[in-house]
Amino acid sequence: MDRPVTVVIFEGGQAQTSLDKTISYVRSQVVLDTLSKLALASEIDRVILVTNNAELAGQASGLAEVDFDSDTRPFHFGARLRELIVSHKLDNVIYMGGAAAPLMTWEEFNEIALTLKANRNVVVVNNVQSADLVAFTPARAIDEIELPESDNALGNLLRGIGMRRILIPNSGRVNFDLDTPVDIQILGMHPDCGPRALEAIQSLDWPAHKLEQALRILRQDSKEIAVFGRVGPAVIQYINTNMVHRMRVYSEERGMKALGRDERGEVVSLIGYMIQELGPAKFFEYLAKVCDLAFIDSRVIFAHLNKQVSDWDRFQSDLGRYDLVGDEWVREFTRCAWEAPIPVILGGHSLVAAGLWLLAEMVVREREGLS
């Protein structure tokens, strides 16, 4: 008998600032685009959206079953997912965060569903270290793990009880997630951005000229590109295979969130030590002497410094709006990055992994006339 596959999407949170509200709105439009794609996937039998966003719940009601979360109780990711699995008697589950994999196609969702229907005791993930799309069967395997507070650890916890892990074929599209403003900007530049998300992104007044400069440099040959932070090997392999740039790569602290290293204050960064020793101004002066363009995962640096940087400060730093950053050190770091002689793109893990990969793919597609 065919075992039905249910997609469960979590999208919520508490928007505290005007910037949070803007990001939340863009994410909600991404969710609606994803729901429209899932409606085309014949192997998907059911879609459930869990959200505390009343406006999104109303807009999504014709595209999915909506399980509305009021704000009357504390949210715990693992407990909420298990509750959903039990109450809806789910067997094959594809879990994803609302802004996970916004460029995945309905055909790829179909393939994941077919994998679940054809196998048992498997967990399918889009990322080895910190997955935000996790498909697994049987769904009640969740009873056998310590319920995680966030989705990043779910895939590894299920693998830890003996489930066979299947990694979705690697690509920038599969790994791309919207965690930061720069991720949103990259999505808006991509030719496959969904129509609702594109309209929302095009209405933003965020400065984008640094990313546009970065894209122009990537279009040229034989440039020196620096990438620092939680860099995965696949993106560098893609660039080396398809482009003629010299890559200066320093990868450190991959999995720092999934492993809890940031929470325990265990993050150690060589780049962080260099910035501490030299100061941000001198660091970016030297950086400009060795490369034409730099992508920096600033979260590793902040964690190395044991800085509890607010979402507001992190996101304004990504956008280069240093005058709006409250933390004095982060403000100076951002100013020096923004005023560096070369384009410096700041962001999080997604930037130096899937974000850069997508930018490179865009250049390759343009070159091959596929845009």
The set of residues, in sequence order, having a beta carbon less than 8 Å from that of 37 and lying 6+ positions away, is 104, 105, 106, 109, 194
Contact 103, 123 (CB under 8 A): no
What the block records as the tokens of 238 is 């893609």
DSSP-derived 3-state class of residue 212: helix
Residue 94 half-sphere exposure toward CB, CA atoms < 13 A: 26
What the block records as the tokens of 166 is 């299947």
Length, in residues, of the chain:
371
**Predicted pLDDT at 168:** 92
Contact 142, 81 (CB under 8 A): yes
Contact 323, 276 (CB under 8 A): no
The set of residues, in sequence order, having a beta carbon less than 8 Å from that of 124 and lying 6+ positions away, is 94, 112, 115, 116, 134, 135, 136, 165, 166, 167, 168
What the block records as the tokens of 77 is 């990711």
Which of 102, 95, 100, 57 is closest to 78 using CA atoms?
A: 95
Virtual torsion, Cα 233, 239, 242, 244, nearest 10 deg:
-130
**Predicted pLDDT at 371:** 53
What the block records as the tokens of 280 is 């941000």
**Predicted pLDDT at 366:** 92
**Predicted pLDDT at 1:** 46
Domains and their CATH numbers in the chain: 5-169 (3.90.550.10), 209-367 (no CATH)
**One pLDDT digit (tens) per residue for the chain, 371 residues:** 478 999 999 998 788 899 999 999 999 999 999 999 999 999 999 999 999 999 999 999 999 999 998 767 788 999 999 999 999 999 999 999 999 999 999 999 999 999 999 999 999 999 887 788 999 999 999 999 999 998 988 999 999 999 999 999 888 888 898 989 999 999 999 999 999 999 999 999 999 999 999 999 999 999 999 999 999 899 999 999 999 999 999 999 998 987 889 999 999 999 999 999 999 999 999 999 999 999 999 999 999 999 999 999 999 999 999 999 999 999 999 999 999 999 999 999 999 989 999 999 999 999 888 65
DSSP-derived 3-state class of residue 287: helix
**What gap in Å lies between CA 242 and CA 236, rounded to an integer?**
10
**Predicted pLDDT at 70:** 78
**What gap in Å lies between CA 334 and CA 346, rounded to an integer?**
8
**Hey, which bits of 52-195 come out as E strands?**
65-68, 92-97, 122-125, 133-137, 164-167
